[in-house]
């Protein structure tokens, strides 16, 4: 059991997986922030369109 723990501690494979996980999390966070920014502008645009149509009617 101690040998297995020692191998896991000295292994680089886990570190690589963690690095890829962090990169993936950063990409996902970036995408979410970008979508949120676009969503706010889009909602504002459609609100303006709605107000203009209501004023003309």
Tens digit of each residue's pLDDT (9 = 90 or more) over 2-55: 887 777 677 777 677 788 889 999 999 999 999 998 998 899 899 999 999 988
Residue 33 lies in a domain: yes
Residue 2 lies in a domain: no
Residue 37 lies in a domain: yes
Distance of CA 33 to the CA centre of its chain: 7
Residue 1 lies in a domain: no
What's the CA dihedral at 31, 37, 38, 44 to 10 degrees?
Answer: 160
d(CA 16, CA 30): 21
Counted domains in the chain: 1
Residue 41 lies in a domain: yes
Nearest Cα neighbor of 28 from 39, 40, 17, 20 is 20
d(CA 37, CA 56): 29
Residue 38 lies in a domain: yes
- By residue range, what is the domain housing residue 23? 14-56
């Amino acid at each position: 059991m101690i040998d297995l723990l020692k191998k896991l501690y000295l292994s680089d494979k886990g570190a690589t997986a963690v690095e890829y996980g962090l990169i993936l999390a950063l990409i996902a966070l970036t995408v979410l922030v970008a979508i949120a920014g676009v969503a706010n502008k889009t909602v504002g645009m459609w609100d303006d369109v709605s107000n203009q149509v209501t004023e003309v009617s």
